[in-house]
Amino acid sequence: MIPVQGLQGARVAILGLGRSGLSAARALVAGGAVPVCWDDNPAAREKAQAEGFECLDLLKSRAFADVARLIVSPGIPHLYPAPNPVIMAAQDAGVAVDNDIGLFFQSFATKGWDNFDQMPKVIAVTGSNGKSTTSALIHHILEYAGRPTQLAGNIGRGVLDIDPAIDGEVVVLELSSYQTDLARNLTPDVAVFTNLSPDHLDRHAGMGGYFAAKRRLFAEGGPDRAIIGVDEAEGRFLAGQLSEGAADDRVIRVSVDRKLAGLGWNVFARKGFLAEMRNGKQVASIDLRKVEGLPGSHNHQNACAAYAACRTLGFAPKVIEAAFHSFGGLPHRSQTVGELRGIRFVNDSKATNVDSAVKAVAAFQNIRWICGGLEKEGGLGDLAKPLETVRKAYVIGREAAQFAMKLGVEAEVCGTMDVAVARAVAEAEAGDVVLLAPAAASFDQYDSFERRGDDFIAQVQKFL
């Protein structure tokens, strides 16, 4: 646990008592603060009270009279699509609003570090797609190289649940826009921006607000190194804002769309080969085509970002390359489930938006594509175009018929996962890939993308 520093003796309100809320309450107590908790769900309040935490309706009169700070769980919208009344009440009372990420950065460094030979570091990863794989890949490379490391944030453990840092340790954090948007302290040593595509637009009132939430990781904290995916206009804009000039190697640009030239520090992948360029000269190259755990250009982008992050720590290219080959990938992200009669089954249930689904589809050939679910704001966009690698789509979800009509490929309305898998297996031939890449949220049929992926695996297992 990371005890919260700087709030000893203070009353701190907590809104939302899920994993991050309860974790924050425990860390506040460990640091000598007094948490005051609230959640609209009575069961959540009962759980908090069972741990001895005080619960108080934060909308009651003078609830914030003696409160030093309000800690908000990431799942609670604060401004859009409508202002949250508790957060507005706190701000009206002059109470600072924060989250567990802000508490972490406020509290991570301690006086004990004065005795360390090598200062601990934090690498924070954000972006629309690939941040989980990139974070896990960085963590894996560090473990492979024998460097002490912990993985936390939007993946693994909550940020305040990790152990206090030891000499030379590197903490890798995956941070969503929900987490970066409210944190009052954002001070990573290395910050990574993978890419940007439409997602969570209602929460951020459009693409501008969504990008602004991601940008805070770089603008508020001023990391020593910034690794920026520049295949979208927003990434190029961000890199330009952070850089002092063409030769400024504090900004490392990453691409899988084109070769990056110039005097700066660039890492890009073309035709399956990763290249590192510094001062206009190539200093390393890795053949990513042979890395089974990172298939497709979207995973090559993740590899470039992770490579760049580890290079800033001084790791040799050969060490990073060797670690790539032992990386098994993450569940529900281009995860090979098995093979049958030459047919490969791949679970990419995490492809919950159009951009991630298009990239997943582009990673394979002869695809029997299972897609559909709760369509996100912004529509299906690129899915209406012909997708050359797709032989046929098998559509699930409550609105499967409407979803299927918007696709640019032959589609069969299946409705449920069991029907979709059965139909795909019946029609697939040797060399085909049955791919789950929904391009939609899961909440019309499942309570998470993990449950959807687990169902896909269960249905596939019936045939293996």
What residues are designated binding site? 127-133
| Burial status of residue 454 (CB atoms within 10 A of its CB: 0-12, 13-18, 19 or more) | middle
Residue 301 tokens read as 């982008």
Number of H helices, E strands in the chain: 15, 20
Alpha-carbon distance of 21 to 72, in angstroms, equals 7
- Can you give 154-203 as a three-state secondary structure string? CCCECHHHCCCCCCCCEEEEECCHHHHHHCCCCCCCEEEECCCCCCCHHH
User: Binding site for ATP: residue ranges?
Assistant: 127-133
Beta strands in 181-292 (DSSP E): 190-193, 225-229, 251-255, 265-270, 273-278, 281-287
* Parallel/antiparallel/unpaired status of strands 11-15 and 149-153: unpaired
Residue 297 tokens read as 């250009």
Residue 62, by phi and psi: left (phi above 0), alpha (psi -120 to 50) or beta?
left
* Parallel/antiparallel/unpaired status of strands 281-287 and 273-278: antiparallel
Cα-based distances in Å from 141 to 55, 111, 325, 327, 376: 43, 28, 10, 8, 34
